[in-house]
């Protein structure tokens, strides 16, 4: 791995990660996350220094492509969202053709299965044609890879706790947790900016499953570190409350990641960690995580999630005793 650093590959990738081209930024972050996974601590630190923590924060927090599209359309006097409803056929519209009882159009309009299929096709068409949707997807993909880069910086076999302390030092501990929390909240983008806004019209963006899962896996690696880091994490009440809202996500990977995180938080590392383990278990119970794990254990449609929920619930109960 060090020969890649010496050959300048790391420097080149970091330069591409700062490109104005979203595709180049995305591919560079994809390569960087792979480069640091399993690397030694020196390479990981060098990678973060070369990329620059401030730029990494920008990749995670800023909706760069959406903002750029918004700026361009505002200059042209257009609405960035005005094409979002184009090319979407509805049963009521039917391209202007009348609907007669017994006709194919009437049968199609009456069939919930056909309606669902048409909505899915319309959504796919919108994703291909809508500049707003494309910009949003670019932002989300880059944010996911930037978070996964941090996850891999924190992954073992790094010296236990060393990279967590380094990340906290580079970003600031409170700032780091605030960054992660921000990706779990609903966001209002460009409030009052639409052409036809009447004071309440704005774009509401809900947390996306891939980004949420990436945030949780960052926390999984912090919780897999040493007891003092698990204690720091259990004190992040606001962050834990936000996570609580995602444990029943429709996305299997988010539910699986949450079980992994809670299992790590419930772990006790030797006799010295018994009091800390009890505190963490009590806090997780208080925030309702144990009952939610038991519900996943009993009812989740995915076998792996059920098994991980069972293991996490067992650890929390054991830490309480």
In this structure, are 10 and 145 located in the same domain?
Answer: yes
Structural domain contains residue 287: yes
Give me the residue label for tokens 């999984």.
220
Give me the residue label for tokens 């257009």.
78
- Residue 85 sits at the vertex; the CA angle it makes with 67 and 196, to the nearest 5 degrees, is 60
Structural domain contains residue 216: no
In this structure, are 267 and 301 located in the same domain?
Answer: yes
In this structure, are 68 and 182 located in the same domain?
Answer: yes
The whole-number mean pLDDT for each consecutive block of 10 residues of the chain, a chain of 321 residues, reads: 68 95 95 93 94 96 71 57 36 41 51 77 67 84 97 83 95 97 87 48 81 98 95 96 96 98 94 92 96 97 97 93 68
Handedness of CA 16, 34, 269, 307 (dihedral sign): positive
Query: Over the stretch 148-201, which tens digit does the pLDDT of each residue have?
Result: 999 999 987 767 789 999 999 999 999 999 999 999 998 887 665 544 444 444
Is residue 187 helix, strand or coil?
A: strand
Domain that holds residue 239: 226-321
Report the C-alpha gap between 273 and 226 in whole angstroms. 10
In this structure, are 22 and 142 located in the same domain?
Answer: yes
Report the C-alpha gap between 120 and 201 in whole angstroms. 26
From first CA to last CA, the distance across the chain in angstroms is 45
Instruction: Please count the structural domains in the chain.
Output: 2
Structural domain contains residue 101: no
In this structure, are 165 and 266 located in the same domain?
Answer: no
Token readout for 58 is 């920008």
- Domain boundary, last residue among 174, 206, 238: 206
Structural domain contains residue 100: no
Is residue 205 helix, strand or coil?
A: strand
In this structure, are 173 and 142 located in the same domain?
Answer: yes
In this structure, are 164 and 235 located in the same domain?
Answer: no
Structural domain contains residue 3: yes
Structural domain contains residue 60: yes
In this structure, are 261 and 291 located in the same domain?
Answer: yes
Query: Over the stretch 243-258, which tens digit does the pLDDT of each residue have?
Result: 999 999 999 999 999 9
Structural domain contains residue 199: yes
């Amino acid at each position: 791995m060090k020969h890649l650093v010496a050959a300048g590959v790391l420097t080149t990738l970091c330069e591409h990660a700062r490109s104005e081209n979203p595709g180049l930024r995305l591919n560079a972050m994809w390569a960087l996350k792979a480069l640091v996974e399993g690397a030694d601590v020196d390479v990981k630190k060098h990678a973060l220094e070369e990329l620059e923590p401030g730029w990494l924060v920008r990749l995670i927090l800023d909706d760069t492509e959406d903002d750029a599209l918004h700026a361009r359309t505002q200059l042209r006097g257009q609405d960035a969202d005005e094409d979002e409803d184009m090319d979407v056929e509805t049963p009521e519209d039917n391209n202007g053709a009348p609907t007669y009882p017994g006709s194919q159009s009437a049968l199609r309009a009456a069939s919930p299965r056909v309606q669902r299929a048409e909505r899915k096709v319309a959504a796919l068409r919108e994703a291909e044609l809508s500049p707003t949707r494309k910009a949003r997807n670019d932002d989300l993909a880059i944010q996911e890879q930037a978070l996964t880069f941090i996850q891999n910086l924190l992954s073992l076999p790094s010296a236990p706790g060393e990279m967590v302390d380094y990340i906290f030092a580079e970003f600031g501990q409170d700032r780091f947790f605030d960054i992660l929390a921000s990706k779990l909240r609903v966001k209002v983008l460009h409030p009052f900016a639409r052409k036809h806004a009447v004071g309440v019209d704005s774009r509401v963006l809900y947390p996306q499953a891939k980004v949420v899962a990436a945030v949780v896996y960052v926390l999984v690696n912090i919780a897999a570190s040493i007891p003092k880091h698990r204690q720091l994490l259990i004190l992040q009440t606001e962050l834990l409350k936000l996570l609580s809202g995602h444990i029943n996500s429709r996305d299997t990977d988010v539910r699986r990641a949450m079980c992994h995180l809670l299992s790590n938080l419930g772990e006790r590392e030797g006799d010295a960690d018994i009091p800390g383990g009890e505190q963490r278990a009590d806090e997780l119970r208080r925030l309702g995580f144990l009952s939610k794990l038991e519900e996943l254990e009993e009812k989740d449609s995915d076998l792996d999630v059920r098994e991980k929920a069972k293991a996490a619930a067992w650890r929390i109960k054991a830490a309480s005793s």
